[in-house]
Structure 1
Amino acid sequence: MDGRVGVERERAGRPGANWDELRVFTWKVLIVALIGGLLFVGWQVADALLLVFAGVLLAILLLRATGGVRGLTGLSQAPAFGIVLVVLAAVTVAGFWFMGSTLAAQFSQLSDQLSAGIKQLPEEVRSQITDGSLSTALISRLRTAATGLMTFLADVVVVVFAGIYLAASPGLYRRGLVLLVPPSGHDRAHEVLDATGEALWKWLIGQLISMALVGMLTYAALLTLGMPAALALAVVAAALEFIPLIGPILAAMPAILIGFAVGPTTALWVAGAYLLIQQVEGNLIQPLVQKKVVSLPPVITIAAVVAAGTLFGVMGLFLAAPLAVVTLVLVNFLYVRDSLGERPRFPD
């Protein structure tokens, strides 16, 4: 015992021991400072990072479509990718050509019907609309909405080009991510990237199926009820289905307001129709879709929507679910598997 104490005192008394401890401490401080600096920079450019992440989702769709074309035609990657882009461009142009005028008329009708719905509100509310304070606030909100629309269109352009560039050279960006990891972890990095891409693809497929079915059911229900602007409302319902939990509620609000313009009874039928569609989506469509795709636990979905919406606003709401998918994959592979030694349980 006395010998061990003497050795420790001898080591502590050496000048080199104090220098080594200081160097280790300095490196730890620098690493913590670097991580903090990266987090601060990431927070400052969060909107740009979210746009890039949305581009990753688009790139996954393009790459899967390219893989399907290659399987059917036997072409190499570049020609197959070119065919996918040409087909998508043609479908987009054809959709605007045949449906653009109809949708424009529908959304114009939607605006008129919303104005008519406001007139059905109680007298106290309508009287406030006629005075200067609320009308000024409404004009200000309309200007803000117009600015937001232009920003949204610019963001869409960024996402489209980011998705195309990522899908055109996926190996380049994949190698860049892997190089950020020490050489001993390259194999695990490839494994995690493969699992993340597969999970996002399965989640996207399930989400797109749900959006399409909700849009069709909404359109059929509103046509049956004789609602004006049924197509525009169905498009809104399908688009907002991308936002878990909150999206269906936001989609129902303009429809119910327009229902009041037709009549209180119609508004009640519209509310019931939206509620029924969500019950069908949650209890029939989702269970069938989830057999083949990735589904998120409800509590995690709620937490992701609240957190992403609070931190990143509207864009965070739209990307909350796929961000939660990525987080679950990382936790399962890097913590559950590597730290706890158990089999990853997500994605199933």
Structure 2
Amino acid sequence: MTLGRWLGLLVFIAALYVLWAVRQLVLMIFGAIAIAVAIDRLARALLTLQFRGRNLLQDRTKAIFGAIGLLVAFFLGAMLLVVPPFAAQFRELTELVPVALDRLDAWFSNFSQQPLGQWLQTVLPNPDFRSLLTQAQPAINPLFRGGFALFASTLGGFFNLLLVTILALMMLFDPLPYRNAFVQLFPSFYRRRAITILDRCRNSLDAWLLGILLNMSIIGVLSGTGLALMGVKLALAHGVLAGLLTFIPNVGPVLSVLPPMLVALLDDPLKSLLVLGWYVIVQQLETNLLTPMVMSKQVSLLPAVTLIAQIFFATFFGFTGLVLALPLTVVAQVWFQAVLVEDVLDHWDQGPRWLRSSREGAINSNSEQALPAAVAVGGDDPQTPEPSDS
């Protein structure tokens, strides 16, 4: 390798190290871009609203403010609907956990007297449930008492979200300078192509947002309706929470089932099991029906790719990487398809050197075999005839 190539390799390694050192900042910037794309999509939808043949909003700035107002109203309403009831319910849980455990013990004791319970005792070992609860209760109670500490630890995350929102608004109101600055990082011959790829990324994020919003709405309605029919307290709040946590595939449904199960446990242990069964049904419906029908039409992401991306980004970037795993995967897929597949592999006609040499050898051997056949057919060597004197 020449000195220039060695220097280029060192610069590339140094750039990767710097990006790794500031990876949380890079994730925050990407989160700001995703929020800006979502607000811009809603603003463009508001620009299309008409009343008596005239557009209600004819200015993009007004549409952006309208979109921000709608989003703020939605999230404030969701917080007022979910947080205060859960706070009161959480205090009730800390007081009634021993009572609920006693009820659960009594239910298991009664179940053991039933025919099915007696049959299970002959198949499975008979544990001392009272002893198990006695050992588990000292470990469970501190978890409930640590709610305030958990809230305090999330305060830093709230300020990070506020910073990301401010960055998103700055990019949203004047996006061209930021896009042009990013495009300047590419060689001059590739900048127009980079702009095209960025537009494709925005369209893919738009499609993903529409798909995930539809999924969140359906899951929230199904979860809340089922809990209301079962008589679980705070069914509406649980439904909203289930819909919001659908934003995080595979992990969100597991987190969303814990609050309604704990609330149902205060009334009846059997109701808690019914809640678990209903959430399993809803999760299977989302995995096997909603996601293939909705997300595959919007963004072609394979389920295995989604799970691998979540594991990868959660491992290297923590909880923020887990939340942004899907939009990061959508954007990475667009760049991979455009740069590597379309611009490199699809135009790699000649192939590597060893393949070119083998092809040239095959062509030469075929030419040598075709020459005697031409001589046998023509009777003379295929030489150019000499011009006659006449």
Letter of the 2:292 partner, please give it. P
Q: CA RMSD in A?
A: 2.8
State the match for 2:17 in structure 1.
40
User: Which deviates further from its counterpart, 201-210 or 66-75?
Assistant: 66-75
Note the C-alpha offset of 1:126.
5.2
Note the C-alpha offset of 1:199.
0.9
Structure 1 unaligned residues grouped into runs of 5+: 1-20, 343-348
| Greater Cα radius of gyration, structure 1 or 2 | 2
Once the two structures are superposed, residues 290-331 of structure 1 have per-residue CA deviations (whole angstroms, 9 ceiling, x without a partner) of 364114101111110111111111111111111111111111
State the match for 2:224 in structure 1.
219
Note the C-alpha offset of 1:60.
0.8
**CA distance, structure 2, for counterparts of residue 42 and residue 143 of structure 1:** 35
Note the C-alpha offset of 1:207.
0.7
State the match for 1:103 in structure 2.
82
**CA distance, structure 2, for counterparts of residue 281 and residue 245 of structure 1:** 10
**CA distance, structure 2, for counterparts of residue 271 and residue 137 of structure 1:** 21
State the match for 2:116 in structure 1.
none
Say whether 1:83 aligns with 2:63.
yes
Residue 245 of structure 1 aligns to a residue in which SS?
coil
User: Which deviates further from its counterpart, 327-336 or 290-299?
Assistant: 290-299
Note the C-alpha offset of 1:31.
2.1
**CA distance, structure 2, for counterparts of residue 336 and residue 260 of structure 1:** 53
Residue 5 of structure 2 aligns to a residue in which SS?
helix
Note the C-alpha offset of 1:99.
6.3
Note the C-alpha offset of 1:114.
4.1
**CA distance, structure 1, for counterparts of residue 143 and residue 289 of structure 2:** 43
State the match for 1:63 in structure 2.
40
Say whether 1:307 aligns with 2:312.
yes
Letter of the 1:205 partner, please give it. L
Say whether 1:195 aligns with 2:230.
no
Does structure 2 retain, via aligned residues, the 8 Å contact 1:110–1:228? no
Note the C-alpha offset of 1:201.
1.1
Note the C-alpha offset of 1:74.
8.4
**CA distance, structure 2, for counterparts of residue 143 and residue 100 of structure 1:** 17
Compared with structure 1, are the counterparts of its residues 61 and 91 closer, same or farther at alpha carbon in structure 2 (3 Å cutoff)?
closer
Compared with structure 1, are the counterparts of its residues 94 and 335 closer, same or farther at alpha carbon in structure 2 (3 Å cutoff)?
closer
Compared with structure 1, are the counterparts of its residues 124 and 64 closer, same or farther at alpha carbon in structure 2 (3 Å cutoff)?
same
Note the C-alpha offset of 1:279.
2.2
Compared with structure 1, are the counterparts of its residues 93 and 190 closer, same or farther at alpha carbon in structure 2 (3 Å cutoff)?
closer
State the match for 2:174 in structure 1.
169
Does structure 2 retain, via aligned residues, the 8 Å contact 1:117–1:259? no
State the match for 2:210 in structure 1.
205
Note the C-alpha offset of 1:254.
2.8
State the match for 1:320 in structure 2.
325
Normalised by the size of structure 2, how large is the TM-score? 0.72
State the match for 1:14 in structure 2.
none
Does structure 2 retain, via aligned residues, the 8 Å contact 1:117–1:257? no
Compared with structure 1, are the counterparts of its residues 40 and 124 closer, same or farther at alpha carbon in structure 2 (3 Å cutoff)?
farther
Letter of the 2:315 partner, please give it. T
**CA distance, structure 2, for counterparts of residue 94 and residue 320 of structure 1:** 24
Residue 341 of structure 1 aligns to a residue in which SS?
helix
Residue 180 of structure 1 aligns to a residue in which SS?
coil
Does structure 1 retain, via aligned residues, the 8 Å contact 2:205–2:327? yes
Does structure 1 retain, via aligned residues, the 8 Å contact 2:57–2:63? no
Letter of the 1:82 partner, please give it. K
**CA distance, structure 2, for counterparts of residue 103 and residue 68 of structure 1:** 28
Letter of the 2:20 partner, please give it. W
**CA distance, structure 1, for counterparts of residue 14 and residue 232 of structure 2:** 54
Does structure 1 retain, via aligned residues, the 8 Å contact 2:208–2:299? yes
Structure 2 residue aligned with 1:278, among 272, 279, 283?
283
**CA distance, structure 1, for counterparts of residue 86 and residue 144 of structure 2:** 19
Residue 243 of structure 1 aligns to a residue in which SS?
coil
Compared with structure 1, are the counterparts of its residues 264 and 231 closer, same or farther at alpha carbon in structure 2 (3 Å cutoff)?
same
Note the C-alpha offset of 1:151.
1.6
Compared with structure 1, are the counterparts of its residues 237 and 136 closer, same or farther at alpha carbon in structure 2 (3 Å cutoff)?
closer
**CA distance, structure 1, for counterparts of residue 85 and residue 314 of structure 2:** 29
Note the C-alpha offset of 1:137.
7.3
Q: Which has the higher contact order (CA 8 A, sep 6+)?
A: 1
User: Which deviates further from its counterpart, 32-41 or 271-280?
Assistant: 32-41
Identity among equivalent positions (%) equals 27
**CA distance, structure 1, for counterparts of residue 308 and residue 284 of structure 2:** 21
Does structure 1 retain, via aligned residues, the 8 Å contact 2:261–2:276? yes
**CA distance, structure 1, for counterparts of residue 206 and residue 312 of structure 2:** 23
Does structure 1 retain, via aligned residues, the 8 Å contact 2:257–2:276? yes
Residue 346 of structure 2 aligns to a residue in which SS?
coil
Structure 2 unaligned residues grouped into runs of 5+: 50-54, 105-128, 348-390
Does structure 2 retain, via aligned residues, the 8 Å contact 1:128–1:134? no
How many residues in Structure 1 have an aligned counterpart in Structure 2? 314
Compared with structure 1, are the counterparts of its residues 326 and 134 closer, same or farther at alpha carbon in structure 2 (3 Å cutoff)?
same
Letter of the 2:84 partner, please give it. A
